[in-house]
A = this chain, B = another copy of it.
Amino acid sequence: MAHDQLKLSNQICFPVYATSRLITREYQPHLDELGITYPQYIALMVLWETDEISVNEITQKLILNTNTVTPLLKRMETQGLITRKRSSTDERKVIVKLTEKGKMLESKAAEIPQKLIERLADSKMTVNELIRLKESLYQIINFLQSK
């Protein structure tokens, strides 16, 4: 290969992409117990933090587009996790609200992140390294998003 900068191991993009998928795989069995997918899980996290917000506010927090979030929310509505209804003050907005079923999942879901941390603790990864990792990632997120 003529270009070392094209070696997979020299990329920053690839490890981020691979880690993202591996973490999702790690979450999968726990999410299966709740009957939800990973994107549904983070959408619920947004709603557990702030209930009754618009589709647009959810797309902002998840850094996803409407054409991803709208069908996602529709599936969640079908599953009885949320309700969707037009705002009365601004008919353009659709307000998303947790159902009782959606609220009930929170306490079960609360155990999931800890399980990943514990798994990673079995590696040589320290909590400080994880914090530093998260800070670096948010630095990239904030920068790439600010345009």
Q: How many copies does the complex hold?
A: 2
Interface string of A6-19 (1 = CB under 8 A from B): 11101111111111
Q: Would you call B125 and A136 a contact (CB within 8 A)?
A: yes
Q: Is the interface of A mostly helix, strand, loop or mixed?
A: helix
| Complex CA–CA separation, A144 to B125 (angstroms) | 12
Answer whether residue A34 sits at the interface, using C-beta atoms and an 8 A cutoff: no
Residues of B close to A20: CB separation below 8 A:
13, 16-17, 19-20
Q: List B contacts of A21 (CB < 8 A).
A: 63-64
CB atoms of A143 and B120 under 8 A apart: yes
> Do B15 and A23 have beta carbons less than 8 Å apart?
no
CB proximity of A92 to chain B, nearest CB, Å: 25
